Amino acid sequence: MRTTIVLTFLVAIVAIGSLSFITIQDQKTGGPWDIPQEYIDMENPHKGDSSLDRLGRAGYARHCRSCHGRNGEGDGPMAAQLETFPGDFTKAEWHEKYNDGEIYYMSFVGRDEMPNFESNITDIEERWAIVNYIRSLKD
């Protein structure tokens, strides 16, 4: 009797595990971003400013971590419900692909499932602090 319960439990865990695996596998990757030139040309006025580290970490934890995950791998608790993979901020190629202005655009203007944060995060310093924090997530 006890063995049956334990077995049923194990089967259920494996089934649930593979289901969530399928959900993540089903996520599409977003296509290329169409980023306006003014953002591409934008300089990060707080580049390398370590006094903003705490602000950036806290802002990311509050606004971004639920989808993007603790380490920025795109695996936050809400990620499985998203149709689009949020991206992986730990990859060096990702950091080489975008400059800070482009990251700023994607982060605060957004598109589709990536929310717009312009009215939610109004402090410009906090926005750049979050960009700097994302930069620090590279392995």
Tell me the per-residue interface mask from 36 to 55 with ligand HEC, x by CB under 6 A, - otherwise: --------------------
By the rule CB under 6 A, 91 interacts with ligand HEC? no
Instruction: Give me the sign of the Cα torsion angle 24, 28, 30, 31.
Output: positive
CB of residue 84 vs ligand HEC: minimum separation in angstroms? 4
Residues in the chain: 139
CB-nearer residue toward ligand HEC: 101 or 107:
107
- Cα–Cα dist 51/124, whole Å: 15
CB of residue 69 vs ligand HEC: minimum separation in angstroms? 10
Pick the binder of ligand HEC from 42, 75, 115, 135 (CB under 6 A).
Answer: 115
Tell me the residue type at 18.
S
By the rule CB under 6 A, 30 interacts with ligand HEC? yes
CB-nearer residue toward ligand HEC: 3 or 41:
41
- Cα–Cα dist 36/81, whole Å: 29
